[in-house]
Structure 1
Amino acid sequence: MVGKVILYFILVSVLWVLAYRFINPPVTLLMIMKNIGRKSDGKSFKLEKKWVDFKEISDNMIRAAVAGEDQKFLHHMGFDMAAIGNAYHANQADSTKMKGGSTISQQTAKNVFLWPGRSWIRKGFEAYFTILIEIFWSKQRILEVYLNVIEMGDGIYGAEAAARSYYGKSCRDLNRSQAAMIAACFPNPIRWTPLHPTKFIRHRHYLIMKNIKRLGPLKF
């Protein structure tokens, strides 16, 4: 019985990942759970998002995301072991300030296929789906999905909605500084906003701008 359940799960999950190689995810559990939370707080439903194909996303936004979140994105197979090790040691030294070591692939996997929250079970599923998308998707597809589904503000999902909300333009027209400022807020888009950057966000913006120059053109 257990063996059949595991086999069915593997079959369904592989088909799910394969489907999303060609079909754009219409909605994620995070979006649903966030809006349930908004309703519980007496707020109105809010879901600002608009899918844009990879070629329609500004190269500045693509490079800013990689520079700010995962500089080894094009070279790893889903996991940055050095970053994971550094995060582990940092968290052991100070458990009050949890440091993450997730790659763009891991973030995409958990945003598209999993529920919000933190647990070892969820981490296990995250690793599993990360491996699947690295096998069945291209790096370009992973980044395309990532920049269309991740939370970039309160009720704001994806680069196009973020660009229009913060700068009144399409993400294809973002300049390097604007793209870097949006990426600087990725770790906590509810707490931070490109419109009112804190000292910490301005520093992250500076580092991302510096890393964009250092990375140079990305070759997919």
Structure 2
Amino acid sequence: MEDVDPPPLEDESAVSARPKRRFLRRLVNRLMLLLLVLAAMPLGLMLLYAVAPPVSNLMLARWFTGQPVTRIWTPLDRMAPSLPLAVAASEDSRFCLHHGVDWVEVRAAIRDTDEDGLPTRGASTLTMQTVKNLLLWQGRSPVRKGLELPLAVLADIVWSKRRTMELYLNVAEWGDGIFGAEAAAQRYFRKSAARLTPAESARLAAILPNPIRYDAEKPSRYVATRAGRIAARARQQSLPCL
């Protein structure tokens, strides 16, 4: 009977490496799954907010810390037409022209910097502000800004311009614990958002940069001057996309 050589013994180092490779494969697969879930979450929330009233991150933060929140969800067609005109004139005059990000203003902001290289003007659109309020976090952060741009472009695809404006006007902060146009109109002018005059709408838009510091009911000289400029621009503003 012919002798048969036994099969060669497997290298012990190769045998011991197998569990490590399996562990690394599982780890990579789980990380990829986590990244897919994280990428899908903003889209899922955008689809939800296309039909349902959302809650902003500032509202959630106040609830978690036991602070009061006043917000009365109000459809856009129950707000005075002067309000979106004033807000667009103040915050985003090219609202109907861009696709979530106003690259014209972004390039201008990059070009116009001070001696320290910091931008002297903002380029945040209403879409970007809405995305920040609903999907991201507050504060100045290059990481947040980097996420804000693609999410704003995606939001402009998912939401109509009318829905974006409606979302913004319902989640914008207009005072300490005051969120949305309806709550702001009742707080400052003791009337519904539907009955706001153009001058009152301009005053609400004027305090948006710092609603904790400024008061629409008793405007400072700065707010009154700013509101006058906004009202003048709003008279020339048109929003055909609404």
TM-score by length of 1: 0.88
From 38, 49, 73, the equivalent of 1:9 is 38
Partner residue in 2 for 1:141: 163
Superposition deviation, residue 214 in structure 1: 1.1
Q: Give the number of equivalent residue pairs.
A: 213
Matched, 1:190 2:212: yes
Hey, what's the Cα distance between the residues in 1 that align with 2:172 and 2:214? 15
Partner residue in 1 for 2:130: 108
Equivalent AA in structure 1 for residue 236 of structure 2: R
1:119-130 to structure 2, matched below 5 A, reads 119-130=141-152
Partner residue in 2 for 1:68: 90
Matched, 1:50 2:72: yes
Hey, what's the Cα distance between the residues in 2 that align with 1:70 and 1:49? 23
Superposition deviation, residue 34 in structure 1: 4.4
Superposition deviation, residue 128 in structure 1: 2.6
Superposition deviation, residue 170 in structure 1: 0.4
Superposition deviation, residue 88 in structure 1: 3.4
Superposition deviation, residue 95 in structure 1: 6.8
Partner residue in 2 for 1:178: 200
Q: Is the 8 A contact 1:166 1:194 kept in 2?
A: yes
1:70-109 to structure 2, matched below 5 A, reads 70-93=92-115, 99-109=121-131
Hey, what's the Cα distance between the residues in 2 that align with 1:73 and 1:142? 10
Q: Is the 8 A contact 1:63 1:218 kept in 2?
A: no
Structure 1 unaligned segments of length 5 or more: list them. Answer: none
Partner residue in 2 for 1:33: 61
Hey, what's the Cα distance between the residues in 2 that align with 1:197 and 1:94? 33
- Measured against aligned partners, the alpha-carbon deviations of 1:4-24 in whole angstroms (never above 9, x if no partner) come to 332222222212211111111
Superposition deviation, residue 192 in structure 1: 0.8
The structure with more radius of gyration: 2
Hey, what's the Cα distance between the residues in 1 that align with 2:235 and 2:115? 32
Superposition deviation, residue 134 in structure 1: 0.4
From 52, 63, 67, the equivalent of 1:23 is 52
Hey, what's the Cα distance between the residues in 2 that align with 1:217 and 1:133? 19
Superposition deviation, residue 45 in structure 1: 2.1
Equivalent AA in structure 1 for residue 110 of structure 2: Y
Partner residue in 1 for 2:10: none
Distance 1:130 1:217, change over 3 A: closer
Superposition deviation, residue 81 in structure 1: 2.1
Q: Which runs of 4+ in 1 moved over 6 A?
A: 94-97
Superposition deviation, residue 193 in structure 1: 1.0
Q: Is the 8 A contact 1:78 1:134 kept in 2?
A: yes
- How much is the aligned-residue C-alpha RMSD, in angstroms? 2.0
From 167, 190, 212, the equivalent of 2:189 is 167
Q: Is the 8 A contact 1:150 1:157 kept in 2?
A: yes
Structure 2 unaligned segments of length 5 or more: list them. Answer: 1-27
TM-score by length of 2: 0.81
Partner residue in 2 for 1:153: 175
SS at the partner of 1:102? coil
